[in-house]
Amino acid sequence: MGLKKYLGLDRRSHSRYPVAVEAEFQIWDGVAQKPRTEKVRGRLTNISASGACLQTNHMLIEGYHLLLDNDPSGQTPLVLTLASSTGEGQWTIKAQVLWYNKFEGERRYQFDVGLSFVTVSPSEREDLHALLRSHSSS
């Protein structure tokens, strides 16, 4: 067991895998079942069965702040759109924003955003596991 895990500093229950997966995302209205914002671009830099780290330049989308307007009850999650691991089509998954860090200096994306996946359907779980399998062996 790693020292961080032993001391309780690493609370993740699933292994994370480094990735470089381009994604689009938007804020979703869970009550009205429609998007609240347009899609913006980002990139997943690591992923697990329960969450991911998203890099982006957008903490504010059309007046909605990714963290401050993020409802813990799941009424305003992010919806990520990702390319299928087979290269055919796209799939989506909902996530709650847990934290973010801003980085200064030269970098394509200035924010790292910690995500936890929510209300994952069986087909989304299948797509997620396919993505994990494609990166766990690299």
Domain of residue 91, CATH code:
2.40.10.220
* Rounded CA separation 95/71 (Å): 11
Per residue in 46-77, pLDDT tens? Answer: 999 899 999 999 999 999 888 887 776 767 78
CA angle, residues 51, 19, 23, in degrees to nearest 5: 70
Read off the pTM. 0.82
- Please state the domain count of the chain: 1
Q: Is 51 helix (H, G, I), strand (E, B) or coil?
A: strand
In a domain, 1, yes or no: no
33 falls within a domain: yes
User: Is 65 within a domain?
Assistant: yes
Whether residue 4 is contained in a domain is answered as: no
pLDDT in tens, 82-108: 988 777 789 999 999 999 999 888 889
Beta bridge partner(s), residue 113: 54, 100
Structure tokens at 17: 């895998």
For residue 53, what are the domain limits? 14-136
Assigned domain for 90 exists: yes
pLDDT per residue as tens digits for the range 11-22: 556 678 888 899
Task: Give the start-end residues of each E strand in the chain.
Answer: 17-29, 34-35, 40-47, 51-56, 60-61, 64-65, 78-83, 90-102, 111-118
52 domain-assigned: yes
Please give the structure tokens belonging to residue 38.
């347009």
Please tell me whether residue 23 adopts helix, strand or coil conformation: strand
Position 29 in a domain: yes
